[in-house]
Amino acid sequence: MKQRKLGSELSVSSVGLGCMGMSFAYGGQDEKDAIATLRRAVDLGVTLFDTAEVYGPFDNEILVGKALGPVRDQVVIATKFGFRIADEGTGPARMVGVDSRPEHVKAVAEASLKRLGIEVIDLYYQHRVDPTVPIEDTVGAMADLVREGKVRALGLSEAGPATIRRAHAVHPIAAVQNEYSLWSREPEDEVLPVCRELGIGLVPFSPLGRGFLTGAIRDRAALGDDDFRRGLPRFQDGNLERNLVLVDRLNGLAGGLGITAAQLALAWVLHQGDTIVPIPGARRIAHLEQNAAAAEVTLSPATLQAIAEAMPAEAIAGKRYTDAALELVGR
């Protein structure tokens, strides 16, 4: 697979793999199947694998470490800190707030290294900006980890443009992670221009609209009871039906090109710049293989224009997160 750069530090496959759904948020997956999917990704040339301590919590890092340990020298592993995780003794560990204090940054790194079974984290992200801790203090602690040889490169997730600039002034930021797809275009306003200016890679998560852009989700009944998409505004009755009209247009365009809607959506993201590396999730090997093949799809100017007309950003119905969740992004 073709390679792309994230900052000056990392060279990765042009399409990575988001591992969250294998353990968290979308209902999870049998461990044996998940490991097979992760190893097949390596066979396909995928080198960037994205996880986080909060996915589970903790379970996803353990899974990724177990699956990729035998091929450690072939992969780039990204993980994240930034949430406070608590266990009151009455149930499973859970997220209870944000925490980017320097001591927490370092403690999570040590714990993640152990769970992943690796000696260095290739890309260490702040998962969400903590408004109570100056970003300079947080990135200073992250930079200490680089100097100690425990982290190779630094990243931010869902940070605003001013925060990105302040962070980058402390230590080079290799990548900024944002939701970015045909139905989530917000990074185009400020974040993507700042990344281009500073030489920072953009890593779009949910580049397939949390699976919706594949055309496979026709109603909420297709989602499991524990699937967090049930609570997202775009999947609510009314919004979902309006968004399906747009996805059906995308399907029509894809069919005319002899590819899937997912491949068309991913190819569109890839065509937005050569420092953009999407990380679609996949729990089935067939879907993984389709996503990887999207890296070879070339879109003509006419096709890009047809996509823009079929799915204009202003036509998307519903916010991408609940109001409470949106308070944590863009800081």
**SS3 category, 3:** strand
Residue type, 71: V
125 part of the active site: no
Q: Of 110, 125, 105, which Cα lies nearest the Cα of 18?
A: 125
DSSP lists the bridge partners of residue 98 as: 83
CA distances from 234 to 104, 166, 318 (A): 34, 33, 5
Residue 161 CB contacts under 8 Å (≥ 6 apart), including other chains: 190, 191, 193, 194
Candidate list 26, 55, 125, 180, residue with the active-site label: 55
Residue 106 CB contacts under 8 Å (≥ 6 apart), including other chains: 141, 144, 145
Q: Are 78 and 126 in contact (CB under 8 A)?
A: no
The residues that are catalytic are 55
